[in-house]
Each structure stands twice: as structure tokens, then as C-alpha cells.
Structure 1
Amino acid sequence: MGLSRKIASAHYMTEQQSIFACPVCGEKMKITDQCVVTCENHHTFDIAKQGYVNFMTHPTTSMYGKDLFEARKQIIESGLYAQLHHTVVELLQSFGRDMTVLDTGCGEGSHLAKVKQQFEKTMDQKMVAVGIDIAKEGVVAASRNYEGMIWCVGDLAKCPFQKSSFDAILNILSPANYTEFKRLLKPNGWVVKVVPQSGYLYQLRELFFADSDKESYSNAHTVERFKENFSDVTIKRITQKVVIPQNLVPMLMHMTPMGWHQTTDIDQTKVKEITIDLDILVGKLS
């Protein structure tokens, strides 16, 4: 099973090999019959048995572990972000063509998988979906759970992709690298960035940060910086309250920064519903 996933990924990556650039020297890359991604200067990166490629050129540690990504997968698959996925798909479909899409900070891949599935299901359009994250545990999980997509461990500061390779870049609740986004986008390409709005998960913030300045949140600085980097910017806000099953509350807490360093006891039974309040920023490469 491991070998077949590896070979299938190699075949799929071969079809898309023009998007790859060596993260060491920047040269074009090709995928060999031995399931190796290599450049003409012989820098090589193996396709793992799960089907992903680790393009990291230096050791790194991540605060995100296997348990966090499992929690994230269960939360996303529960439908908590269904309205977000639906809205993002509508935006991508409005461009009216097959697309090559990069998800930066893809984690365990659930957001990108949902978007690709809906994009191809509702329209006669195809999506080449590529996910990259610096956290290996997330990419390993993505490649195990979602086939027919390209999964890469990598750092955007030493990016394994050619310039002008993507029609759209997704950046969902994750840090951005706008300089690199601009390099990676095709002419007239789009960035779709999702950022929290003031009410996002406020039920959790009330529990963790009651009567502190962290109980409130503003994304104004993030929005302003996005507008400085892209043109034709539109902002679409989605707000909804969703009833959350009690068994999912600990997982939601675990996947958010609020829960990572919590030492005091929190009464999780107080959380009966959760607010999804997000801004979707859409900007064009000018």
C-alpha cells in the first residue's frame, strides 16, 4: 500500500513537474522513475512512502504535533467551516477556468481537500491542488488522508516552486509571505486570505481571557497590509453560530493557540455553540 501511494504520487507530480523549482539552487526539477525529485545540479528529494516530498533544506522544529493535526482534521470534517469552504469555492469558480491552487500553511490538508472536492463536484472544472507547510506532521497526515493532490514539507523562504506557477493562493488562518506570493502567482493571479473577525471563537476567548485585552480582537492591521500588497481587493465576511457537540470542544481548544499553554482548569461544558466570524480577503496580483 505504501509503495502504490508513493508511485501514484510520483506519476501525478510528473504531470505537474513544471511547477517545481529546486529549493537549493532554483533550477527546474524532474521526477524520476525511482520516485525522486531532482534538479540538473543533482539536488535530490525523495518522495516518501505516504506520497509527500520533504523539500526542507535545514532542520526545523514545529510547535504543531500529530495530536493537534488530528484534532484539526476532526473539527474541519465536522462541518464547522462548511460555510467558509462554500464561499471560497464560489470565489474560485467565478474565475471560470481550471486552476492550479497552492494552499500555504496547509496543515493536515483538510481545508484544501474540501475546497478541491467541492470545486470539481459542482462545476466542469479541474483543480491541481498543492499544499505546503513547514510542519512535517501535518503534511504526513495530509498525504495519508487525501490522494490526488501534491503535498510538500517546505519553507516559503526557500520555496520549491517556479515563479508564475499558480492561478490562486489560499492562505487560511495562517501567516503570509506576500513577496513570495507575488512571485508564485501567474499574471492576474489571486490571493484568497482568510483572517479572523472580531467574533471568531469568542466563546473560547471568554473562557481563556476573561476581563483581559485578549478577549477582544481586531484584524485591521492585517487587512490594511493586504490592501497595500494587492489590487482589486474585496472583503467578504461570513458570520454564523454553530452548535458544537461536547466531544468536539476539547479538540477545538487543542487546535487553537488559546489552548496550547493553558494550565488552569477550564469548564468546557460552558461551550454549547461556537461563532465562526471570518473575513475572506481577495486580492489580485497587480
Structure 2
Amino acid sequence: MSNNESILKKAQLLSIHEKIFRCPICGGSMKVERSASLECENRHCYDISKQGYVNLLNHSSRTKYDKALFEARRSISGSGFFEPLVEAVTSRLIQELKPRESEKLVRLLDAGCGEGSHLSTIRSKLGKYSVVPDVLGVGMDIAKEGIVMAAKTSPDSLWCVADLSQSPFADRQFDYILNILSPSNYSEFRRLLARGGALVKVIPHSLYLQELRTLFYTGTGKETYSNDSTIELFSRHFEQVDTERVQYRVVLDTDQMKQLIRMTPLSWNASPEAIGQILDEEMEVTADFMLLYGWNEE
């Protein structure tokens, strides 16, 4: 398929769902124009890229989340490292969706989607159940490199480079929002969620990658981790809250360990000597997550 054909195909998908967008500059409604761009009523215009994503960012963004990190994350995801976590999230969504069988479309936003592997996998798993007639997957991230990768590999979802504090979506457009190991903006989440919709936030639990934390930070005061403040903040924004812990251990070979080191921000402030200790050996590491569910009843 040529670049023009690819852009036109994505423009068609965007056109079907253009009402979910609002201009991040003026808040105006948006439409897909013939020039294969997303344009608001006040003429603020955003082109659809040849890869099929839309960059709705109004300022330059510098981030440590680069192409190498996202390639490593995709490799780790492909190894099955996150599979029990993704399965837990999917199972809970299935439970939530069962009473809604008559609805034709479920809108699922991944806020902070990275390279898109979590959203793509969850959407694929949901599609295998009869209780979910159709799922629109929408991924947004401030890191362009991640969105480029997501758009190339999962063209059947909508992908946007965007700032969560100025999210380019209209009010109450999403049935569910995923926020997996990524920063939050609870006022925006409440604005974007439909009545009865739910936020699924995944945060590290105390033992997440404890082996790396011990090697990297023993004696620094950073060798232990607590998510109590995050849970408390979450509970302040949602009256109805539920939690679930997902914990398991995974053996990673030497190549996978290298990818894990590239992927995790835990390595950013670690010394080269500490990182060197674990690059040439297989290791069993702990995956430990807290899943927070909050419902928008307004």
C-alpha cells in the first residue's frame, strides 16, 4: 500500500470517529478534511502523518523515552513479560462489559500508551469475546517515537501525539481509560470518561523489579518503593474504587535482561558498574503491580 493510500485509509477511520476530538488549542470541534488533516472550526489544522498518526501537540517535548526505549519495551512485551498483567486487565474489562452487551461500540483510550503494545493486546483479547461487539482503540502519548511505532504496527487503532494536560478529546467520549505505568491527570480523566465509565490505572507495587532496585540502589534510600501516596491520590478522585494485586516471577535470559535495562527508568540513575553486574546473566525478576479501578458516576 502506498503512503497516500495509507493516509487516506487512516483519514477514513478518523472521519468515522471525528466527534471524539476537540481542538487542543481552542476546544473547538474537529473534522477530517479532504487534505487528509484534522481541522477545527477555527482552522487549527493537524496533518495525518504517512505512518497514520496525528500529532496534536502544541509545543516541543523533550523526553528520555526514545526509540531505543520503546523498541526494548516492545521486545519485553513480545516475550510475554506483561502477559499476566494484560490478562488481568482484560478479564476485568470483560466483567464490566457483560451488562452492556447491547451496545455496538466500546471506546477504549490508553493514556500514556507508549509504543502501543498494551492497548493492541488488550483490544485483540477483547475482540475474542461475544460480549464485546466492537472496540475502538485510541492511544495517546507525548513521546512521538512511541506513537510512530504504534501506528506502524497497529493501523486499526487511532494514535495521537498529545499532552495529557491538553488532551485533544471532547467530553465524556470514553467508556474506559487505561493508564498503565504512566503519569495521570485525574481532572482530564474525569472529563473524558462517559457516565459509568472506568479508569484502569496500573502502578508498580512494592516488589516490582525488586532485584534491580536492590542491585542499583542499596544504601541510597531508594532500595524500597511505596505506592501509598499514589493510591491515596487516586481514591481522592473517585468515590467508587476497587484494587487488585497481580504478582508473579519471570526468568529472563541475557538478551531479555538487556532489553529490560533499556526499558525501565530504574536504570536511568544507576551506575554503569551496577548495570554491568547483571547484563551477562540470566535472572529471575519479580513483576508486582497494583491495579486501581475508579468509576465515574457523575
- Name the TM-score class by shorter chain: over 0.9
Give the percent of matched residue pairs that are identical in Structure 1 and Structure 2.
Answer: 40
How many angstroms apart in 2 are the aligned matches of 1:231 and 1:99? 23
User: Out of 183, 190, 195, which is 1:187 matched to?
Assistant: 195
- Structure 2 unaligned residues grouped into runs of 5+: none
More displaced stretch, 93-102 vs 58-67: 93-102
Deviation of 1:237 (Å): 0.4
Show the counterpart of 1:277.
Answer: 288
Runs of 4+ with deviation above 3 angstroms: none
Is 1:11 aligned to 2:7, yes or no? Answer: no
Tell me the equivalent position of 2:58: 57
State the distance in 1 between where 2:51 and 2:77 align. 22
Correspondence for 1:225: 233
Alpha-carbon offset, residue 123 of structure 1: 3.4
Q: Displacement, 1:262?
A: 3.4
Give the TM-score of the pair, scaled to structure 2: 0.93
Going from structure 1 to structure 2, the CA distance change for 1:209 and 1:261 (only over 3 Å counts) comes to closer
Task: State the distance in 1 between where 2:259 and 2:11 align.
Answer: 34
Question: How far apart are 1:270 and its partner, in Å?
Answer: 5.1
Structure 1 residue aligned with 2:122:
115
Partners of 1:250 and 1:231 in 2: CA distance = 41
Deviation of residue 59 (structure 1)? 1.7
5+ residue gaps, structure 1: none
The answer for the alignment partner of 1:83 in structure 2 is 84
CA contact (8 A) 1:244 1:272 kept: yes
Q: What number of residue pairs does the alignment pair up? A: 286
AA in 1 matched with 2:72: A
Counterpart residue type for residue 46 of structure 1: D
Letter of the aligned partner of 1:131 in structure 2? Answer: G
Question: What is the distance in 1 between the residues matched to 2:283 and 2:63?
Answer: 31
Q: Could you tell me how far apart the structure 2 residues matched to 1:222 and 1:124 are?
A: 32
Which AA in structure 1 matches 2:230?
A: T
Matches within 5 A, 1:1-286: 1-96=2-97, 97=100, 98-125=105-132, 126-265=134-273, 266-268=276-278, 269=280, 271-286=282-297
Root-mean-square deviation over aligned CA pairs: 1.3
CA shift digits 1:84-139 (9 cap, x unpaired): 11111111111224410111111110111111011112334121110111111111
1:170-222, CA deviations, whole angstroms, 9 ceiling, x for partnerless residues? 00001100000001111111000001101101111121112332111110110
Q: Is the 8 A contact 2:254 2:281 kept in 1?
A: no
Under a length normalisation based on structure 1, what TM-score does the superposition of the two structures give? 0.96
Aligned-partner Cα distance in 1 for 2:160–2:169: 10
Deviates most, 212-221 or 161-170: 212-221
Task: Give the drift of 1:70.
Answer: 0.3
The 3-state SS of whatever aligns with 1:129 is strand
> Alignment partner of 2:171: what SS?
coil
Contact residue 250 and residue 284 of structure 2 kept, 8 A: yes
- Judge conservation of contact 1:203–1:271 (CA < 8 Å) in 2: no
| Worse-superposed segment, 76-85 or 57-66 | 57-66
CA distance in 1, matches of 2:70, 2:150: 9
User: Partner of 2:126: helix, strand, or coil?
Assistant: helix
Rounded Cα–Cα distance in structure 1 between residues aligned with 2:5 and 2:86: 30
Q: Displacement, 1:58? A: 1.5
Q: Deviation at 1:20?
A: 0.4
